[in-house]
Amino acid sequence: MDKRFWEQRWQNDQIGFHRGDVNPHLVAYVGRLGLGPGAKIFVPLCGKSVDMLWLQQQGYRVLGVEFSEIAVGSFFAESDLVPVKQTQSKFTAWRGGNIEILRGNAFDLGEEDLAGIDAVYDRAALIALPPALRRNYTRMLIEHIPKTAKMLMVSMEYPQSQMDGPPFSVHSEEIHGLFGDAFTIDPLLEQDILAENARFRDRGLTSLVEKVYILKR
């Protein structure tokens, strides 16, 4: 990952990818993961997403990973959670309530870091990565999350020639190419969201479609 790029985005408060409200797709479809109380959900490239707080409020445990210390610190400060910090392998683990965020490079995650994961929630991880890194990300998940873990994934599709990422356009064909050998991929939703996203229209997009998937081994 381009660590300098993301650190500068957080330092300059250029975080248009951050949502101040809970993602409605998470609310609508988390039940499709079939998780019981206390299940552990992994949120890669989590930033300071309020989705993690919502998941905790539903009775789940949350594990995030995030490179930016600014993002991790902001999450706990804005959530009124007092974190306990501890070194864990190549990460600094910040823990508060039923939420733990590993501060470090997601590509350094190993099987021991993701042990006990019941599900993955990817709203903005895959689409944050350029093509060269998406396969590395996929390999990390396939190799290190437990075989029983399911995934809830949100992606977006648009003409890549009209806008530089991130967020990048990741078409369903690519998702099947990346994950199809290890997972069955079930589409849940396809929604045109251009009309409600002026910032993307202003960047020249003529089409923007959001898609939601469930992935199972």
Is the pLDDT assigned to residue 16 strictly greater than 80?
Answer: no
CATH number for the domain harbouring residue 181: 3.40.50.150
Is the pLDDT assigned to residue 17 strictly greater than 70?
Answer: no
Q: What angle do CA 40, 46, 51 make, to 5 degrees?
A: 65
Q: Closest Cα partner for 19 from 51, 66, 62? A: 51
Q: Percent of the chain, pLDDT > 70?
A: 93
Mean pLDDT, the chain, integer: 93
**Domain housing 106:** 3-216
Q: What is the pLDDT of residue 134?
A: 96
- Spell out the residues 6+ positions from residue 143 whose beta carbon is closer than 8 angstroms to its own: 111
User: In total, how many domains does the chain have?
Assistant: 1
Is the pLDDT assigned to residue 18 strictly greater than 70?
Answer: no
Q: Closest Cα partner for 212 from 166, 156, 165? A: 156
Using one digit for the tens of pLDDT, what is the confidence trace for 46-94? 999 999 999 999 999 999 999 999 999 999 999 999 999 999 999 999 9
92: β partners: 87, 103
What is the average per-residue pLDDT within 176-203? Answer: 96
